[in-house]
Chains A and B, each alone.
Chain A
Amino acid sequence: MIVADKKPIEEIIDEIKEHERILILGCNECVTVCEAGGKKEVGVLASALRMYFLNEGKEVKVDEKTLERQCDHEYLEEIRSMIDQYDAVVSLACGVGVQFTAEKYHSMPVYPGVNTCFMVVTEERGLWTERCQGCGECILARTGAICPVSRCAKRVLNGPCGGSTDGKCEINKEIDCAWQLIVDRLKALDRLDDYEKISPLKDWSTDRAGGPRKVIREDVQQ
């Protein structure tokens, strides 16, 4: 899933302080799981904002709503009938949801309420770690299903670099060296000989480098 992290409340206040009718819009998917933008966090942020405006002596309406998803037309349509009551939306969805809401309600200011991070697993409650950067050309078959693109600080495809020490990455003793993990895994699979196969230059055009990406599936469209 995608993990997001809370934005400092001061930053949100700074964006919205001139508005008077604000909708805090949550999302029931990833941001709910990572406890940054679900129904509960919408409630917490709305209360904090109400408190702030009260202290400032300003009369500001702050409402709450959480959609099933903000990345689908279907669910975003649910607020069409009520959107005119507001002069701003703070979306607690990932950056995808913020943008899709803004695209749909073209004259409505929409502000991000979280910092969208990356694609993760939940290692334990409150700890999410990166596993994928969506490079568009999966090489996990070659690397024992450990991804050097997302998990190596230098995206080294023929690693490790010289900095790998005691299984940890040179940038931080708390971070596993992806290539130590790959070697351990190849060993467990009895495939250590595969280590000596050289990974060719990667086609990064399917990654960020290629510009905004699209997946078109005609079989699904029909």
Chain B
Amino acid sequence: MKPKTPSKLEKVLAAGHLAVTSECGPPRGSDPEVIVKKAELIKDHVDSVNITDNQTSVTRMCSLAACIRLKLLGLDPVLQMVTRDRNRIALQSDILGAASFDINNILCLSGDHQSFGDCATGQNVHDLDSMQLIQTIRHMRDEGKFLGGDDIKRPPEMFVGAAANPFADPFEIRVPRLAKKIAAGAEFIQTQCIYNLDKFEEWMKQVVDRGLHEKVSILAGMTPMKSAGMARYMKNRVPGMDVPDEVVKRLSDTPKEKQAEEGINICVEAIQRLKEVEGVRGFHVMAIEWEEKVPEIVERSGLYPRPKVD
């Protein structure tokens, strides 16, 4: 596979390495140091870093500005972009803004509903959906054109990604939905956090049976649990999350002061097992407000040092 963009993530994947990405949430304020500090913690252990876009609909510093901060530090940011807050003018405009700073990765999402956040009485936009956003970026990049048909001077060079939830409902369309995202133009996938490894492997088997793993790079989503309480919360409260009872039990059977360590163990074991699964091309390690643990997870999973690519 020859890379089509200058994205480091794409190059790592194209060279056949298992990729490692992570994510940082921007601060609820304008202090750039917050994002810089988080990035410093993980930068040597990952290939690229996602910046979330007002996740859970709570207003934060914009993803684009935070991505620019990372880019200025020499990192390879992944701009997360939700269709909730911007119409097709703003989406295209922000994509060009990102491209002007040579931000070379974008992850297309619909975004959590605004009712979860701090502006529950606000409007949502959803002019496009995430699938159509993927199409739009591919159109801008590959055809060098705006949606309106005019030429773009210096089109964006972006490696285009999407999210996938191997555990989502309705179950009949778990794999077709991925196929649809690939048909729309997705080149990499970052999955929902995986705790139910058997079920994930079943999904991957169907993905491989359809040959989809050859058309898209799938990065398995990993989030270490900090405590048994977090495991129970994820199991019961977070929509679309599949946390098996044995994971909750393993953590709650561990003394409180050792639970965080056990959470990391579970994560590392999962990565080691999934490394062997056909079609898994890397890992997206989301240590939520626990970025300092990413290096340890990456090292213990045998994914360090990160490859050099150019």
Docked pose: A177 CA to B240 CA in angstroms: 13
Are B184 and A198 closer than 8 Å at their CB atoms? yes
Distance (whole angstroms) from the CB of B96 to the closest CB of chain A = 18
Q: Which residues of A contact B112 (CB under 8 A)?
A: 163, 170
* Chain B residue with Cβ nearest A193: B176
Q: Does B60 contact A (CB under 8 A)?
A: no
Are B183 and A180 closer than 8 Å at their CB atoms? no
The number of inter-chain residue pairs (CB within 8 angstroms) is 96
Docked pose: A196 CA to B176 CA in angstroms: 6
Docked pose: A201 CA to B163 CA in angstroms: 20
Are A201 and B176 closer than 8 Å at their CB atoms? no
Docked pose: A195 CA to B179 CA in angstroms: 10
Q: Which residues of A contact B129 (CB under 8 A)?
A: 154-159, 199
Q: Classify the interface of chain A: helix, strand, loop or mixed.
A: loop
* Chain B residue with Cβ nearest A184: B170
Are B239 and A154 closer than 8 Å at their CB atoms? no
Q: Does A204 contact B (CB under 8 A)?
A: yes
Looking at A162, A165, A184, A201, which has the most chain B CB atoms within 10 Å of its CB? A162
Q: Of A158, A177, A195, which contacts B132 at CB under 8 A?
A: A158
**Which chain B residues in 83-97 approach chain A with CB under 8 Å?**
83-84, 88
Q: Does A109 contact B (CB under 8 A)?
A: no
Q: Does A26 contact B (CB under 8 A)?
A: no
Distance (whole angstroms) from the CB of B219 to the closest CB of chain A = 16
Q: Of A153, A155, A196, A201, which contacts B180 at CB under 8 A?
A: A196
* Chain B residue with Cβ nearest A156: B129
Closest 5 pairs (CB-CB, A-B): A158-B131, A155-B126, A156-B129, A163-B239, A161-B110
Q: List 30 A-B contacts (CB under 8 A).
A: A154-B110, A154-B113, A154-B126, A155-B126, A156-B129, A156-B130, A157-B129, A157-B132, A158-B130, A158-B180, A162-B110, A162-B163, A162-B165, A162-B168, A164-B239, A165-B169, A166-B169, A167-B169, A170-B240, A180-B169, A183-B170, A183-B173, A187-B172, A195-B176, A196-B176, A198-B131, A198-B135, A198-B183, A198-B184, A201-B88
Kindly list 9 other residue pairs between chains A and B, CB separation below 8 angstroms, not including A159-B129, A179-B170, A201-B88: A156-B129, A161-B110, A162-B165, A164-B169, A170-B239, A171-B113, A198-B131, A198-B180, A198-B183
Report A's interface with B, CB cutoff 8 A.
153-167, 170-171, 177, 179-180, 183-184, 187, 192, 195-196, 198-201, 204
Report B's interface with A, CB cutoff 8 A.
83-84, 88, 110-113, 115-116, 124, 126-132, 135-136, 147, 163, 165, 168-170, 172-173, 176-177, 179-180, 183-184, 192, 239-240
